[in-house]
Amino acid sequence: TFKMTGMSLLQSDLEKTELTLNPPEGIVAGPIDEENFFEWEALIMGPEDTCFAGGVFPAILSFPLDYPLSPPKMRFTCEMFHPNIYPDGRVCISILHAPGDDPMGYESSAERWSPVQSVEKILLSVVSMLAEPNDESGANVDASKMWREDREQFKNKAEQLVRKSLGF
């Protein structure tokens, strides 16, 4: 069954991948509990040399039952202000968009989800997104506008979020 395939893939993603053996710098992720491999929590550190540097941002990855045919959804569970993150925390990034051609003609199918992607690749893509927002397809219109028109104000807002993420 699909559920078994998705679950065994997620288990092997956890056990055999770099995520556990040699996690990429600034990323920690794993199932919320051993009973449910379809809900993962992640901690993403703000990338060095960006306005998010030093922050620790928690997120949830929710995997569909037909994973890996369909992509997981990812949502930051802390306050975020970023062109590619909806105000409710949902992440809008090509790698998490359904496979195939983009109905809007904006993304190539190669940029979108495919069953060969891994949890690690998703999280690394999100770290890159934090460092280099795509203001062309803004999930948060206010953040996109500020990123384009007032970078200094955007940096200040991001630095406030970093302090908040650390409990200051």
Catalytic residues: 92
Structure tokens belonging to residue 52: 């998010």
- Helix residue spans in the chain (DSSP H): 2-16, 18-21, 119-131, 141-149, 151-165
Of the candidates 26, 18, 77, the one whose C-alpha atom is nearest the C-alpha of residue 48 is 26
Q: Alpha-carbon distance 80 to 12, whole Å?
A: 31
Tokens 């997120």 -> residue: 59
| Residues paired with 56 in a beta bridge | 45
